[in-house]
């Protein structure tokens, strides 16, 4: 089981690293788009039509690409009061049960993400986002909403992969608390003050 965990962690780590880098770019672009809209609206008194939807598009993709990393490193809010009262083994068993329940929610979410991306909602065009290919002699291309909603589906799929890794870790630790597991990369450094 440790070999499967090492393989899973080895596959997930570079994928999440790429996602984090793209998420930072999306965040920077989102801030730039919002600042441009503020400038055009309040300084030039001529609001643009597309920045609000572009910012929402970038925010959804940024969230979709960073959420799996946050899940992996324990960056989500959690209530650990009950686990702290239990012993090590019961707390680890509770962790396995909760992770399995979360996995079930994610598995159900695949259906919703797929329907939203490739179903009825994804067939519509964005009201304001267009790719200006007319600058190069082609027709303007309206952006389909499925490219925005696809972020939900990708996020769920990445979180399922991370959840699988977390479940493997928890099951191994349940049966062997001293197991030599691959380390989860940490991206936030704790700052110690004197």
* Six token digits for residue 84: 């702290």
SS3 128: strand
pLDDT in tens, 134-172: 778 888 788 888 888 899 999 999 999 999 999 999 999
Q: Where are the alpha helices (DSSP H) in the chain?
A: 2-38, 51-72, 81-85, 88-118, 146-175
* Dist. CA 29–CA 175, nearest whole Å: 46
Rounded to 5 degrees, what angle do the CA atoms 12, 109, 117 make? 90
**144 - beta bridge partners?**
125
pLDDT in tens, 24-47: 999 999 999 999 999 999 999 888
The Cβ of residue 168 has, within 10 Å, a number of other Cβ atoms equal to 20
* Six token digits for residue 9: 């962690």
Q: Does residue 105 surpass a pLDDT of 80?
A: yes
In this predicted structure, what is the pLDDT of residue 21? 94
Q: Does residue 190 surpass a pLDDT of 60?
A: no
pLDDT in tens, 114-136: 888 888 777 888 878 888 777 78
* Dist. CA 134–CA 139, nearest whole Å: 5
Q: Does residue 3 surpass a pLDDT of 90?
A: no
In this predicted structure, what is the pLDDT of residue 192? 43
pLDDT band at 177 (very low <50, low <70, confident <90, very high): confident
pLDDT in tens, 4-30: 888 898 899 999 999 999 999 999 999
């Amino acid at each position: 089981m440790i070999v499967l965990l090492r393989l899973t962690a080895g596959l997930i780590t570079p994928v999440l690293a790429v996602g984090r880098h793209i998420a930072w770019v999306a965040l920077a672009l989102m801030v730039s788009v919002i600042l441009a809209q503020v400038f055009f609206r309040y300084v030039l008194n001529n609001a643009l039509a597309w920045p609000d939807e572009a910012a929402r598009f970038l925010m959804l993709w940024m969230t979709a690409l960073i959420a799996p990393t946050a899940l992996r490193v324990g960056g989500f809010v959690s209530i650990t009061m009950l686990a702290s009262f239990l012993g090590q083994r019961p707390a680890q068993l509770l962790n396995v049960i909760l992770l399995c329940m979360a996995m079930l929610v994610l598995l159900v979410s695949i259906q919703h993400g797929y329907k939203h991306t490739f179903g009825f909602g994804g067939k519509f065009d964005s009201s304001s986002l267009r790719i200006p290919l007319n600058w190069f002699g082609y027709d303007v291309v309206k952006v389909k909403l499925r490219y925005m909603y696809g972020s939900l589906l990708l996020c769920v799929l990445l979180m399922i992969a991370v959840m699988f890794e977390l479940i493997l870790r928890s099951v191994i630790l349940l049966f062997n608390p001293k197991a030599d597991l691959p380390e989860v990369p940490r991206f936030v450094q704790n700052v110690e003050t004197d």
